[in-house]
Amino acid sequence: MATIFSKIAAGEIPCHKVAENEEFFAFLDINPVAVGHTLVIPKKEVDYLFDIDDAMLGRMMAFAKRVARAQEAVITCKRVGLAVMGLEVPHAHIHLIPIQKESDMYFGGAKLKLSAEELDKIATQIRNEFK
Ligand code: 5GP
Protein backbone atom coordinates (compact mmCIF):
# COMPACT_ATOMS: atom_id res chain seq x y z
CA MET A 1 0.00 0.00 0.00
CA ALA A 2 1.25 3.45 -0.92
CA THR A 3 2.42 5.69 1.89
CA ILE A 4 0.67 8.99 2.58
CA PHE A 5 3.70 10.79 1.16
CA SER A 6 3.55 8.75 -2.07
CA LYS A 7 -0.09 9.76 -2.38
CA ILE A 8 0.88 13.40 -1.87
CA ALA A 9 3.61 13.20 -4.53
CA ALA A 10 1.17 11.52 -6.91
CA GLY A 11 -1.37 14.31 -6.39
CA GLU A 12 -3.91 11.95 -4.80
CA ILE A 13 -3.78 13.88 -1.51
CA PRO A 14 -3.56 17.69 -1.64
CA CYS A 15 -0.49 19.53 -0.40
CA HIS A 16 1.23 22.87 -0.70
CA LYS A 17 3.85 21.88 -3.24
CA VAL A 18 7.18 23.64 -3.21
CA ALA A 19 9.30 21.82 -5.79
CA GLU A 20 9.55 18.63 -7.82
CA ASN A 21 11.81 16.79 -10.24
CA GLU A 22 11.72 13.24 -11.59
CA GLU A 23 13.07 11.74 -8.37
CA PHE A 24 12.12 14.05 -5.50
CA PHE A 25 9.20 16.11 -4.24
CA ALA A 26 9.03 18.95 -1.70
CA PHE A 27 5.95 20.30 0.09
CA LEU A 28 5.08 22.28 3.19
CA ASP A 29 4.72 20.37 6.44
CA ILE A 30 1.07 20.43 7.50
CA ASN A 31 2.08 21.15 11.12
CA PRO A 32 5.00 23.55 10.72
CA VAL A 33 7.36 24.34 13.55
CA ALA A 34 8.43 27.51 11.67
CA VAL A 35 7.21 29.45 8.66
CA GLY A 36 8.28 27.68 5.47
CA HIS A 37 8.88 24.29 7.14
CA THR A 38 9.25 21.98 4.16
CA LEU A 39 9.57 18.22 3.69
CA VAL A 40 11.70 16.71 0.92
CA ILE A 41 10.91 13.14 -0.06
CA PRO A 42 12.09 10.66 -2.67
CA LYS A 43 9.29 9.56 -4.98
CA LYS A 44 10.63 6.02 -4.58
CA GLU A 45 9.27 4.49 -1.40
CA VAL A 46 12.02 3.96 1.14
CA ASP A 47 11.17 3.96 4.83
CA TYR A 48 14.48 4.96 6.39
CA LEU A 49 16.55 7.79 4.94
CA PHE A 50 19.83 6.03 5.69
CA ASP A 51 18.78 2.98 3.67
CA ILE A 52 18.92 5.13 0.52
CA ASP A 53 21.99 4.36 -1.57
CA ASP A 54 24.82 6.87 -1.55
CA ALA A 55 24.29 8.22 -5.06
CA MET A 56 20.60 8.82 -4.59
CA LEU A 57 21.14 10.31 -1.13
CA GLY A 58 23.61 12.73 -2.72
CA ARG A 59 21.05 13.74 -5.34
CA MET A 60 18.41 14.14 -2.64
CA MET A 61 20.67 16.43 -0.65
CA ALA A 62 21.46 18.46 -3.78
CA PHE A 63 17.72 18.81 -4.40
CA ALA A 64 17.18 19.82 -0.75
CA LYS A 65 19.91 22.43 -1.15
CA ARG A 66 18.01 24.02 -4.06
CA VAL A 67 14.84 24.07 -1.93
CA ALA A 68 16.79 25.69 0.92
CA ARG A 69 18.11 28.40 -1.42
CA ALA A 70 14.52 29.18 -2.44
CA GLN A 71 13.41 29.25 1.22
CA GLU A 72 16.27 31.64 2.06
CA ALA A 73 15.16 33.93 -0.76
CA VAL A 74 11.64 34.45 0.59
CA ILE A 75 11.71 33.78 4.35
CA THR A 76 13.65 35.93 6.79
CA CYS A 77 16.02 33.50 8.49
CA LYS A 78 19.63 33.08 9.54
CA ARG A 79 19.90 29.54 8.23
CA VAL A 80 17.80 26.71 6.92
CA GLY A 81 18.06 23.93 9.47
CA LEU A 82 17.83 20.28 8.50
CA ALA A 83 16.32 17.47 10.57
CA VAL A 84 15.63 13.82 9.98
CA MET A 85 13.35 11.85 12.28
CA GLY A 86 10.85 9.70 10.46
CA LEU A 87 9.13 8.49 13.61
CA GLU A 88 5.66 9.34 12.32
CA VAL A 89 5.61 8.66 8.58
CA PRO A 90 7.45 5.58 7.23
CA HIS A 91 8.56 7.29 4.02
CA ALA A 92 12.00 8.88 4.13
CA HIS A 93 11.93 12.67 4.41
CA ILE A 94 14.15 15.60 5.27
CA HIS A 95 12.73 18.53 7.25
CA LEU A 96 14.02 21.89 5.97
CA ILE A 97 13.26 24.62 8.48
CA PRO A 98 14.07 28.33 8.12
CA ILE A 99 15.40 29.37 11.53
CA GLN A 100 16.49 32.48 13.40
CA LYS A 101 17.49 30.64 16.55
CA GLU A 102 18.03 27.10 17.81
CA SER A 103 14.64 26.86 19.49
CA ASP A 104 12.88 27.41 16.13
CA MET A 105 13.65 23.76 15.44
CA TYR A 106 11.90 22.45 18.51
CA PHE A 107 9.51 19.67 17.51
CA GLY A 108 8.08 18.90 20.93
CA GLY A 109 6.00 22.05 21.39
CA ALA A 110 2.93 23.68 19.89
CA LYS A 111 2.99 23.89 16.11
CA LEU A 112 2.26 27.07 14.15
CA LYS A 113 -1.33 27.69 13.21
CA LEU A 114 -1.30 28.89 9.62
CA SER A 115 -4.36 29.10 7.40
CA ALA A 116 -4.54 27.29 4.08
CA GLU A 117 -4.26 30.71 2.39
CA GLU A 118 -1.08 31.53 4.31
CA LEU A 119 0.44 28.13 3.51
CA ASP A 120 -0.53 28.55 -0.11
CA LYS A 121 1.14 31.96 -0.29
CA ILE A 122 4.37 30.68 1.31
CA ALA A 123 4.50 27.63 -0.98
CA THR A 124 3.94 29.77 -4.05
CA GLN A 125 6.71 32.18 -3.05
CA ILE A 126 9.20 29.36 -2.45
CA ARG A 127 8.14 27.57 -5.64
CA ASN A 128 8.70 30.75 -7.65
CA GLU A 129 12.26 31.01 -6.31
CA PHE A 130 13.14 27.34 -6.88
CA LYS A 131 15.84 27.11 -9.53
P1 5GP B 1 8.45 12.48 11.30
O2 5GP B 1 8.02 11.21 10.57
O3 5GP B 1 9.64 13.12 10.68
O4 5GP B 1 8.60 12.24 12.77
O5 5GP B 1 7.24 13.52 11.15
C6 5GP B 1 6.40 13.55 10.01
C7 5GP B 1 6.13 14.97 9.60
O8 5GP B 1 5.22 14.93 8.50
C9 5GP B 1 5.45 15.82 10.69
O10 5GP B 1 6.17 17.04 10.85
C11 5GP B 1 4.03 16.03 10.19
O12 5GP B 1 3.50 17.29 10.52
C13 5GP B 1 4.18 15.87 8.68
N14 5GP B 1 3.00 15.29 8.06
C15 5GP B 1 2.36 14.16 8.46
N16 5GP B 1 1.31 13.90 7.64
C17 5GP B 1 1.28 14.91 6.73
C18 5GP B 1 0.42 15.19 5.62
O19 5GP B 1 -0.53 14.48 5.32
N20 5GP B 1 0.72 16.30 4.89
C21 5GP B 1 1.76 17.12 5.18
N22 5GP B 1 1.96 18.19 4.42
N23 5GP B 1 2.61 16.87 6.23
C24 5GP B 1 2.36 15.78 6.99
The parent domain of residue 34 ranges over 4-129
* Domain at 84, CATH number: 3.30.428.10
Spacing, Cα 109 to ligand 1 middle (Å): 15
Mind listing the pLDDT tens digit for each residue in 23-74? 999 999 999 999 999 999 999 999 999 999 999 999 999 999 999 999 999 9
- Three-state SS letters, the chain: CCCHHHHHHCCCCCCCEEEECCCEEEEECCCCCCCCCEEEEECCCCCCHHHCCHHHHHHHHHHHHHHHHHHHHHCCCCEEEEECCCCCCCCCCEEEEEECCHHHHCCCCCCCCCCHHHHHHHHHHHHHHCC
Spacing, Cα 32 to ligand 1 middle (Å): 9
pTM of the model: 0.98
Catalytic residue annotation: 93
Look at the chain and report how many structural domains it folds into: 1
Report whether residue 30 contacts ligand 1, using a CB cutoff of 6 Å: yes
Report whether residue 85 contacts ligand 1, using a CB cutoff of 6 Å: yes
Residue nearest to atom 13 of ligand 1 (CA): 29
